[in-house]
Amino acid sequence: MTESWQSCSSLTTEERLDVLDLLNRTESLLGREAIDEARRRIVVHGWRAEHWLQFRDGVLVRYAMVNGIERAVVEMCGGEVEDHLLAHLFVTHETLDWWTRGPQTLDHGSCQVVRTLQLMQVALPVACVAVPAGATLRNFERGRDEQPWLEQNNAAFAHHPEQGAWLMADLDERLLEPWFDPSGFLLLEIDGQLAASCWTKVHELHPDRFGEIYIISVHPDFQGRQLGRVMVTQGLEVLRRKGVSRAMLFVDESNAGAKALYQALGFTVVRDDRLVRFSRS
């Protein structure tokens, strides 16, 4: 029985289907996502990245992706760290940031946790906070709201490592995804300005059909008015009306303000995902 890792910058049609099958089987086994949503989209659409595949007697048994701009970021299907792949990557990368999902035992003296994302969930319904007097809550409209939302979101996440630098192309790609539903994309306007937004999604293909607060943001000019609480609860109410009984979201462990809000609404932490930095010795 032979096993080997091989890399490519573009998956063939057969490889892409094999990877998607592996991701789907892993998700069914673990009961959670096998890989980050953005990386899954790269596979689905056949986009270029540093793809790593491990075969056993010609059958795909493991998959990982390396991408990133300033630093190589790695994630393996299932959220583990694999020593042989790490050795392969150190041939061309001096430093690596590797996403792990859930509890991991890492015996590498040269690694350090540089970021922790916490998965939080809550049972629905959650009491809905009313929209402030004079504010308007409405759904996102294609062809009208793309640029205003980008400006509002990027301002809100100006110092965020991923969320604060969205381009129009990033938004357009997601608006074309099968899961996109404008009824779950809420915008709050105050005095003619886009003050806050809450983008939700329903994981229709998951056995539990749960909901997600995909992106929640408040423009800096409107912070301090409890609009985050308004938008989260309004988003959860949209999910409840769609028949969803459980909702989840991701939050940086270091974001004490956001965590306090979510905990006050009944969210609890169910998993820690850690970004671990490895350096070539």
* % of the chain with per-residue pLDDT over 90: 82
- In this structure, what are the phi and psi dihedrals at residue 271, rounded to the nearest 5 degrees? -165, 145
- Across 171-190, average pLDDT: 95
- In this prediction, residues 140-166 reach a mean pLDDT of 88
Residue 140 contacts residue 238 (beta carbons within 8 Å): no
Tens-place pLDDT, residues 183-212: 999 999 999 999 999 999 999 888 889 999
**Per-residue confidence band for 34, with pLDDT thresholds at 50, 70 and 90:** very high
What confidence score (pLDDT) does residue 1 get? 46
pTM: 0.91
Instruction: Summarize pLDDT for 92-147 with one digit per residue, the tens.
Output: 999 999 999 977 766 656 689 999 999 999 999 999 999 999 999 999 999 999 99
Confidence of residue 68 (pLDDT cuts 50, 70, 90): confident
Q: What is the 3-state secondary structure (H, E, C) of 89-140?
A: HHCCCCEEEEEEECCCCCCCCCEEEEEEEEEEEEECCCCCCCCCCCEEEEEC
Compute the mean pLDDT over every residue in the chain, rounded to the nearest whole number.
93
Q: What is the mean pLDDT of residues 140-164?
A: 89
How many Å apart are CA 119 and CA 272, to the nearest integer? 6
